[in-house]
Amino acid sequence: MGKLDLRVRDLNSGVSSLVSFDSEEAATAWLVARPKFIEVLGVATLELDHETSMRLKGSLRPLDPEEKLLERRLDAAIQAVTREREEEKMRHEREASDAHRVALRGADPNRLMEVHWTFNAEMTLTDLADERPISQEVKDAVIAWVRERDEWVKDRGQVVGDAKVTVWPGPIPASDGGERVKRGTFIPVTAAAPPDAKKD
């Protein structure tokens, strides 16, 4: 066996590091006499077998009451910082989402919209911040697009199960040749058996 590395943490500073040993015997001797205020987090040597790892764990001098108190304080401080960062991240995300929603309210109402269609739910806009209604004209265009794709896959016993279709909700640019649907993607699924299909 080559070098044996242990992950440790200084309970006073919270700094983690590695300590290396040339043999299991050297690591065991160090663990038995573990330095004060140094917590052993685990074995860092990936190829170490389970039996050796368990022997090392069994030789570790446990934390004394003073060390356990420092460990609890350190873990509590880390958790507090983690919560603060997560709350800050969520606040930034909410602010960005609100700003995006406000910006969309002032955008061109006739801009392209991406509609999410599924076989078992109402159509929705993929951008949840987009508050424009989905007109019947748009719905009809999406359904027609989906039904055309149904024809593409029916020979494989499939139908469209999920689709995202980008549509012009208002006037269609002349460059698009009167086509309300600009583009789309879909995911096929196995078609349901017809109600009158014979059972085996």
Distance of CA 181 to the CA centre of its chain: 31
Q: Is the model more confident about 66 or about 194? A: 66
Inter-residue contact 18 to 4 (CB < 8 Å): no
Q: What is the pLDDT of residue 199?
A: 53
Q: What is the pLDDT of residue 65?
A: 96
Work out the pLDDT band at 1, boundaries 50, 70, 90.
low
Which 3-state string (H, E, C) describes 35-69?
Answer: CCCEEEEEECCCCCCHHHHHHHHHHCCCCCHHHHH
- Render pLDDT for 134-193 as a digit per residue (tens, 0 to 9): 999 999 999 999 999 999 999 999 999 999 999 999 999 999 889 999 999 999 999 887
Closest CA to 112 of 97, 100, 130, 99: 130
Query: Does residue 2 carry a pLDDT above 80?
Result: no
Q: What is the pLDDT of residue 46?
A: 83
Long-range Cβ pairs for the range 128-133 (8 Å, 24+): 129/97, 129/100, 129/101, 129/104, 130/104, 131/101, 131/104, 131/105, 132/169
- What phi and psi, each to the nearest 5 degrees, are found at residue 49? -75, 160
- Say whether pTM exceeds 0.75: no
Q: Is the model more confident about 198 or about 90? A: 90
* Mean pLDDT computed over 8-33: 95
* Mean pLDDT computed over 114-122: 95
Tokens, residue 122: 């109402």
Query: Does residue 198 carry a pLDDT above 80?
Result: no
Pairing of strands 38-43, 121-125: unpaired
Pick from 14-28, 49-63, 83-97, 182-196: least confident: 182-196
Sheet holding 4-10, edge to edge: 16-21, 4-10, 38-43
* Mean pLDDT computed over 16-44: 95
- Render pLDDT for 34-85 as a digit per residue (tens, 0 to 9): 999 999 999 998 888 889 999 999 999 999 999 999 999 999 999 999 999 9
Compute the distance between CA of residue 176 and CA of residue 180 in angstroms, rounded to an integer: 8
Q: What is the pLDDT of residue 195?
A: 62
